[in-house]
Amino acid sequence: MPKFAANLTMLFNEAPFLDRFKAAAAAGFRGVEFLFPYAFHRDQIADKLNQYQLDLVLHNLPAGNWEAGERGIACLPERVGEFRDGVGEAIVYAKALGVKQLNCLVGRRPADVDADKIRTTVVDNLRFAADQLKAEGIRLLIEPINTFDIPGFYLSGTKQALDLIDATGSDNVFVQYDIYHMQRMEGELAKTIETNLARIKHVQLADNPGRNEPGTGEINYPFLFDFLDRIGYDGWIGCEYKPATNTVDGLGWLKQAGLRQAA
């Protein structure tokens, strides 16, 4: 059966962030993920993980000024130094929290910058991050994002992600495949996952339209969960969706599907 990690940025946000670990454990989750840990000291988060016996399966590299609308800085030529400093900060957190995978949001395409220069910047930054993370036993992921929700996001498709990975020449860069984002951009979910299974190391979910829980939209999640089992996907599935009402009431899809949250 698939194993599910609660995304604490989007789930259980009826409570303050540090209280969401308890709520996730009470709901039966044994894994959690979130966008960023950097607003909290790593010891605070480690204490919550230990207290509630949770695995932190993923968080992101620093992504610039999130509140101001930035969604990553890896594609910004003038921010290379900041990106590289962020890789170091992420490694410190990941090692303290037992995280084995870090995701890089590459950011919105900068205006008035040559396309080749943008691509070169992304590839160079990913290569740097992959090398630094590999030395610490941590895997680097990159995530295609739909351009309806984030207009101008530089990385918006599976093929583009694979091309960028190939360009790095690294064996330590993989795809984070978000079913919701790729339903909006590409469709053909099952075949794409199967074809690229060896290069997909984390999956996230939400239904479409609305980015709510499975069962609220058009995506056939019971089929996809069975399919992921059949093709041998053994990683976590991050529940990165917006509950249509509240988090606990919205978890009925797990019980209805006969699936488990725990590893």
Q: Which of 82, 89, 218, 240 is catalytic?
A: 240
For the beta carbon of residue 136, count every other beta carbon within 10 angstroms: 12
* Alpha-carbon span 122 to 61, nearest angstrom: 14
CB contact set of 25 (below 8 Å; sequence gap of 6+):
52, 53, 54
> Is the Cβ–Cβ distance between 191 and 223 less than 8 Å?
no
Nearest one of 108, 20, 98, 130 to 63, comparing CA atoms: 108
Known active-site residue 143 = yes
Q: Which of 70, 78, 143, 186 is catalytic?
A: 143
Known active-site residue 67 = no
Which H or E element spans position 5? Answer: strand 3-7
* Alpha-carbon span 61 to 43, nearest angstrom: 18
Question: What's CA 173's distance to the chain center, in Å?
Answer: 14
Catalytic residues, by residue number, are 143, 240
